[in-house]
Amino acid sequence: MLDPKRIRTEGEALAKQLLVKKFELDVARMENLDQQRKTLQLETESLQNERNLRSKMIGKAKAAGEDISEILQSVDSMKAELETKKEQLHLVQEEITSYLMGVPNVPDDDVPEGNDEASNKEVLRWGEVKNYDFEIKDHAELGEALEQGLDFETAAKLTGSRFVVMHGNAAKLHRALIQFMLDTHTLEHGYTEVNVPYIVNSQSLLGTGQLPKFEEDLYKLRGDHDLYLIPTAEVPVTNLVRDQIIDADRLPLKYASHTPCFRSEAGSYGKDTKGMIRQHQFEKVELVQIVRPEDSNKVLEELTAHAEKILQLLELPYRKVILCGGDLGFAASKTYDLEVWLPSQDTYREISSCSCFTDYQARRMHARWRNPDSGKPELVHTVNGSGLAIGRTLVAIFENGQQEDGSIRIPKVLVPYMNGLELLS
RNA sequence: GGAGAGGUGGCCGAGUGGUUGAAGGCGCGCCCCUGCUAAGGGCGUAUAGGGGAAACCUUAUCGAGGGUUCGAAUCCCUCCCUCUCCGCCA
């Protein structure tokens, strides 16, 4: 959520910035609603104050043994007016917050203009894209040909499209990737591993910004209990600090978490129908940092570098892009996507998304820290990124490591995690 | 699923339908005293919102949401969570 005060005082400037994100802030409507709110709040509060004063007088008069019938009547007569004012005030306040909950975060000054991914700006390329002197296959083909490989058909039988069964060494490679990434982030990059619920309530999803706007992307559990499968570990991990005031010396909090992620992928029917690129269920190692406001930009760079390090160790060629306004996520102020080279598609595909959310999620979550300079609780900043998406990493290893006979070379760093196995064949 | 107990400020912990934003303690901050240290004393110490240039005024908050009442931490209802015992289960 944006700071309501800021909308009040610098609405026009914010509206201009939000245009980069293709969002039209209705400043006039907000001003109008706020004017109503102000009037109603003043009236309501002064009525309440009056009632409180008189009620206290009743207490005193009663204790002194005086007659209270007259004052009782005078306060009784205020009741109806107070009730209606209260109701009106609540309606206006609800309208304001529900509008505010739908306003995205303001993009950082670095964010380039543009409507879609075509306008994303490349900032770095790493690694050599290999030349293959044989006809290359895509990961699905490679995986299905392996005896211990990928099995989309059986997954479709078990569940439906966009699921996969991994057998034997493919499953082991998948597990090795998780282990390797967690080890690297906890041992080399200073993150603390955390294991969290895969089911969350709506409050958590409101906190990180998936709700109320993006409910159709989520799997909701049946029953009356208001629970959802997580679309990313970002939700439970970031919400660890919801409704908390964190001691300054505990910051930054650095969490690494491996979870499955569930996405209904509504509205993406045509895209990536084949293979493991886009699944309803996939796994991810997620990095989350809770930081002091002044550090968040620097931390985004660091955290992105931590994700990049994984790609480098796996010797996978990638590029780094900064997302343009139109492609930037709802709650993010700035996002770097890491895109890995996929030979079969002759292009780079997203494998990690690292974002700074400034105080946007923190305000929704009431996540604060005690600033020693002011002595006051102030909103933290949140930063997160995938480090990395496991399934897509497996895809990249299959495709980049393929050999003419259809076998797949396992990156050196993973060999120990595969108990010495160097080749999938 | 059944039975019981409980949820109060950064923490512990009292609490009567009425001047309780909430005793007391711990912690924390400032100050005093003590030639160091320990001990002691004084004062202060929640959060969010609104109005105001400011001083300051004001509203709300005792798990959440409703209700009763002139007035609710206190009474009633619903829900959530924690603990103990039983059942079931990995």
pLDDT tens-digit map of A403-418: 999 999 999 999 999 9
Active site residue A350: yes
Decide: helix, strand or coil at residue A343.
helix
Phi-psi region of A407 (alpha: psi -120 to 50; beta: other; left: phi over 0): beta
Res A146: pLDDT: 94
**Range A113-140 average pLDDT:** 93
- Output the CA angle A331-A306-A117, nearest 5 degrees: 45
Percentage of chain A beyond pLDDT 70 is 99
Q: Give the C-alpha separation, A180 to A185, whole Å.
A: 9
How many CA atoms within 13 Å lie on the side-chain side of A365? 33
- In this prediction, residue A233 has a pLDDT band, given cuts at 50, 70 and 90, of very high
Give the count of beta carbons closer than 10 Å to the beta carbon of residue A381.
Answer: 27
Q: Give the C-alpha separation, A279 to A166, whole Å.
A: 13
**Range A417-424 average pLDDT:** 95
End-to-end C-alpha distance for chain A, whole angstroms: 51
Q: Are A97 and A5 in contact (CB under 8 A)?
A: no
Active site residue A54: no
Question: For the ranges A98-112, A129-143, A261-275, A291-305, which has the lowest average pLDDT?
Answer: A261-275
Question: For the ranges A47-56, A76-85, A198-207, which has the lowest average pLDDT?
Answer: A76-85
**Range A77-81 average pLDDT:** 83
Q: Are A288 and A76 in contact (CB under 8 A)?
A: no
Q: What contacts A329, CB < 8 A, 6 or more positions away?
A: A323, A335, A353, A355
Question: For the ranges A1-10, A17-26, A317-326, A388-397, which has the lowest average pLDDT?
Answer: A1-10
User: Given a cut of 80, is residue A155 above it in pLDDT?
Assistant: yes
The CA–C1' separation of A371 and B42, in angstroms, is 28
User: Given a cut of 70, is residue A224 above it in pLDDT?
Assistant: no
The CA–C1' separation of A56 and B42, in angstroms, is 33
**Range A172-180 average pLDDT:** 97
Question: For the ranges A75-89, A295-309, A331-345, which has the lowest average pLDDT?
Answer: A75-89
Phi-psi region of A275 (alpha: psi -120 to 50; beta: other; left: phi over 0): left
User: Given a cut of 80, is residue A314 above it in pLDDT?
Assistant: yes
Q: Give the C-alpha separation, A148 to A413, whole Å.
A: 21
Q: Give the C-alpha separation, A86 to A37, whole Å.
A: 11
More confident: A372 or A54: A54
Res A326: pLDDT: 92
Question: For the ranges A60-74, A146-160, A255-269, A295-309, which has the lowest average pLDDT?
Answer: A60-74
**Measured between alpha carbons, how far is residue A157 from residues A161, A163, A168, A228, A382 in Å?**
9, 10, 19, 24, 40
The CA–C1' separation of A232 and B39, in angstroms, is 56
pLDDT tens-digit map of A97-120: 888 888 999 999 999 999 988 999
A76 CB below 7 A from strand B atoms: yes
More confident: A141 or A271: A141
Question: For the ranges A46-60, A128-142, A321-335, A398-412, which has the lowest average pLDDT?
Answer: A46-60
Name residue A390's amino acid. I
Question: Please, what's the b/e burial string for A270-286 (b: 16 or more CB within 10 A of its CB; e: otherwise)?
Answer: eeeeebbbbbbbbbbbb
Protein-covered nucleotides on strand B (Cβ within 7 A): 10, 18-19, 47-51, 58-60, 70-71
A226 CB below 7 A from strand B atoms: no
Res A415: pLDDT: 97
The CA–C1' separation of A87 and B10, in angstroms, is 35
- Return chain A residues 240..259 having CB < 7 Å to nucleic acid strand B: 245
User: Given a cut of 70, is residue A276 above it in pLDDT?
Assistant: yes
Minimum-distance nucleotide, CA of A368 to C1'? B47
Q: Give the C-alpha separation, A235 to A228, whole Å.
A: 11
A4 CB below 7 A from strand B atoms: yes
Active site residue A51: no
A56 CB below 7 A from strand B atoms: yes
Res A243: pLDDT: 84
Interface confidence (ipTM) of the complex = 0.82
Give the count of beta carbons closer than 10 Å to the beta carbon of residue A30.
Answer: 20
Q: Give the C-alpha separation, A254 to A287, whole Å.
A: 7
A85 CB below 7 A from strand B atoms: no
A72 CB below 7 A from strand B atoms: yes
A199 CB below 7 A from strand B atoms: no
Token code pair at residue A39: 């009037």
Phi-psi region of A234 (alpha: psi -120 to 50; beta: other; left: phi over 0): alpha
Res A221: pLDDT: 85
**Sole residue written with tokens 């997302």:** A323
**Sole residue written with tokens 């005030």:** A89
**Measured between alpha carbons, how far is residue A88 from residues A8, A40, A44, A77, A309 in Å?**
21, 7, 10, 19, 55
The CA–C1' separation of A15 and B54, in angstroms, is 32
Res A70: pLDDT: 80
User: Given a cut of 70, is residue A188 above it in pLDDT?
Assistant: yes
Record the pTM. Answer: 0.91
pLDDT tens-digit map of A327-373: 999 999 999 999 999 999 999 999 999 999 999 999 988 888 888 77
Minimum-distance nucleotide, CA of A73 to C1'? B70
Nearest to A101 by CA among A234, A21, A215, A211: A211
Res A60: pLDDT: 82
- Return chain A residues 22..51 having CB < 7 Å to nucleic acid strand B: 38, 41-42, 45-46, 48-49, 51
Active site residue A368: no
**Range A44-48 average pLDDT:** 91
Res A211: pLDDT: 85
Active site residue A392: yes
Minimum-distance nucleotide, CA of A44 to C1'? B59
